[in-house]
Amino acid sequence: MFPMGFFFDPTFILVIIGMIISMIASSYVNRTFERYDAVKSSQHITGTDAARYILRDQNIDDVGVQQISGNLTDNYNSGNKTLSLSQATAQSTSVAAIGVAAHECGHAVQDDQSYFPLRLRTAIVPIANFGTNLSIPLLIVGILISGSSGQFIINIGLLAFSLAFIFQLVTLPVEFNASRRALQILSDGGLLTEEEVPQARKVLTAAALTYVAAAVSVLLQLLRLFLLFGGNRRR
């Protein structure tokens, strides 16, 4: 039988804390983006225009720019060399939109320059996804099997889930570096004024906090699993 702690356990508070942290970070980035989305850039260029300008300026001619649906769903796909901007970013001339577009261009520059953390993150994505999907079934199987064999399978499950946390850790330097590149490019290229660059920095800093929150949330989930099933805590 499954231990009651698997479904009802005081350690579930760790998951709740992680959810609250993620919600606060998400709310903060949305508020910050909305605030500076109301500030129109002095150059009156859209996020799409800014992205294309940056790519040309960085001599990157193999990356396409497209508009996608959603809010703050902007991303760069190194697999198909596509920079996707959400409608709020692609069509807006705001400081926030240009900052977000530049951040995604920062990933394209990383890819073009073979930035090692980006390569590492790309390489471990399938491994991390596989480990995360496999972890819970392994834990369940380990619970059903008594003795050291069951605990061994549980430990493998915990190790598999830890891959998700490793992925989050690798993501942090990738995102922070992309933002630093973006702000430098915006400043050097004159796309934003000296007064507008700090505003864009606030938007990108708020966005970066969502990745920190995600890492903390996964860490808390991992800690809970270790508290429930690590060592010899078989019930």
Q: What is the pLDDT along the chain (235 residues), one digit of tens a residue?
A: 445 444 567 888 999 999 999 999 999 999 999 999 999 999 999 999 999 999 999 999 999 999 999 888 999 999 999 999 998 899 999 999 999 999 999 999 999 999 999 999 999 999 999 999 999 999 999 988 878 888 899 999 999 999 999 999 999 999 999 999 999 999 888 899 999 999 999 999 999 999 999 999 999 999 999 998 876 554 4
pLDDT of residue 2: 47
pLDDT of residue 232: 54
Place of tokens 């190194």: 78
pLDDT of residue 129: 92
Which residue in the list 34, 104, 195, 196 is annotated as catalytic?
104
pLDDT of residue 4: 47
Find out whether 57 and 185 touch, Cβ atoms under 8 Å.
yes
CA–CA gap between residue 146 and residue 142 (Å, rounded):
8
Query: What is the bridge-based pairing of β-strands 82-86 and 75-77?
Result: antiparallel
Q: What is the pTM of this model?
A: 0.87
pLDDT of residue 211: 96
196 in active site: no
pLDDT of residue 47: 95
pLDDT of residue 88: 87
